[in-house]
Amino acid sequence: MTAKIPDPKEPGWIINGAGFHVHDRYGFGLMDAAVMVQKAVNFQSIPDQRMCVQTVTLWPARTLPSGGEVSVAVQSGACRGNHNAINTLEHVQVTLDVSSVCRGDLRVELVSPVQTLSVLLDTRKNDNSMAGLKKWTLMTVQNWGEDPQGTWKVNVKDHKGTAAGCRRNNSEEAAGAIISITLTLYGTYSNTTTNHDAPLSGFISLGKFHTLPPERVSVRNRFPPHDLIHYAFKLEQENQIRAEDIPLKQHREKPETQDLSSADFSLKDLDNTDGKSIESHLHKLWNTLRNSVKMDQNNTLTQVNFQQVGVRVPRQVSAHVQKIKRSSATRKDMG
């Protein structure tokens, strides 16, 4: 991860279970183009992305008390033992089916097995709908790098009185109900993974793993004190990447272009492919050429002004047409 902390004084910064600093509003931080280029030079691909889905249907539905909260636990094995097993997360989706007397009063949180808390949906003062959350899919990337195996918690809270347009009875007992929850994990599987059972030993910044400072800043439940965030901020500010810090790779020389005869000309000469990906475009181009190039009375090819028809002719096609014209003119002079 190459992002930097822009403002360490802003409350809400945490270190997730994989060692990345993250914030509900700032995400992982401010992107640093220089660090991105430096890391991209030696970029190594990762395994193919996998998806693991788990649905929990609540029967009977869990009632959401007025002004209260419901927490639903989802025990996930992260599809271990299957072809889509995951041990390194990229992002998580939560699909909810929740009824509500006032949707704007709802707040939805997701807590990972290592206690990383993500706000999936906050309250909204202008949302006075009574439709609830019918198969709403919410997403978070704050669990990046974590091992998803364990107990996840989905917290649905009713903050009564937040949405101004909702007329709620003071004597109401229920604000809604949680009907079903679907947890969808996206990530990869590798032989190495984060050990969440051991104490957090460091954090990731500027694309590198940094051990905790000598003063051994205390970290409890993955929510570090501000001194660790300030330590990471200072480290990122002191390590500015310069142009000379970025190694240059030798560029491959471009192949020489060759003039091809009409017999050797093929679709590959347009974009160095077999043309399948632009087949429809090629058909339109050919129809335009056919209608824009006509034979005169002496069987000499005459090309009309392509600018008038709004077509930009590829260099190879234009050169091929000009070659035919010159050949026809030569035969006429010889005759």
Q: pLDDT tens digits for 36-93?
A: 888 888 788 888 999 999 999 999 999 999 999 999 999 999 999 999 999 999 999 9
Distance CA 201, CA 216 (A): 9
Question: Nearest CA to 4 among 234, 169, 188?
Answer: 234
Question: Nearest CA to 89 among 167, 148, 9?
Answer: 148
Confidence of residue 165 (pLDDT cuts 50, 70, 90): confident
With beta carbons less than 8 A apart as the criterion, state whether 304 and 294 touch.
yes
- In single-letter form, the type of residue at position 151 comes to T
10: Cα separation from own chain's centroid: 25
Domains of the chain, residue spans: 14-46+195-245, 50-188, 268-334
Please give the model's pTM, rounded to 2 decimal places: 0.69
Distance CA 31, CA 231 (A): 18
With beta carbons less than 8 A apart as the criterion, state whether 187 and 146 touch.
no
Q: Which pLDDT score is estimated for 209? A: 82
With beta carbons less than 8 A apart as the criterion, state whether 301 and 328 touch.
yes
- Mean pLDDT over each residue of the chain, to the nearest integer: 80
pLDDT tens, residue by residue, 229-275:
888 888 888 887 777 777 776 555 555 655 555 555 555 555 555 55
Q: Which CATH superfamily is domain 50-188 in?
A: Galactose-binding domain-like (2.60.120.260)
Contacts of 252 (CB under 8 A, 6+ apart): none
Token pair 């058909």: residue: 283
Bridging pattern class, strands 50-65 and 106-111 = unpaired
Confidence of residue 309 (pLDDT cuts 50, 70, 90): very low
